[in-house]
Amino acid sequence: MDWTTIIISLGGALLTGGGALSLLYYKENRRAKQIDNEKSVVEEWRGIAEERKARCDELKESLDRKDAKIDALYKENSELRKRNDKLSSANTALSILKCKVLGCDKRQPPFGKNENCES
């Protein structure tokens, strides 16, 4: 037996025994690793999406609370305006009826002439 026959025999044994299978499994292993990588990327994006959704819900709740507070302040503001209008009207009426003459002999303005003003 010469060296070429021995080398060819060993090469054939390797290729037919484990070499061919290793070539077949290489593609499968590569594809499995790609699938694992894709799964990890998808899980990462799902986590990010869930965090964003949770943050969005928190912001909506905060906005709802602020809207409720703004509505309450508008209601309070309208009540204070009504009160201010009533007091302003009462003040105007009283300033019209106010006696401008100190002695009250000749009442100015002439409302209630028959009444005596006692200071």
What pLDDT, in 10s, does the model give residues 35-84?
Answer: 999 999 999 999 999 999 999 999 999 999 999 999 999 999 999 999 99
Residue 13 has what pLDDT?
Answer: 64
Q: Does 119 have pLDDT greater than 50?
A: no
In this prediction the pTM is: 0.48
User: What is the pLDDT averaged over residues 1-18?
Assistant: 69
What is the C-alpha separation between 71 and 77, in angstroms, rounded? Answer: 10
Whether residue 33 is predicted with pLDDT greater than 80 in this model: the reply is yes
**At which residue do the structure tokens 């061919």 appear?**
20
pLDDT tens by residue, 77-115:
999 999 999 999 999 988 887 777 666 666 665 555 555
Query: How many residues would you count in the chain?
Result: 119
CA torsion 69→70→76→81, rounded to 10°? 170
Q: Which two tokens stand for residue 7?
A: 């080398």
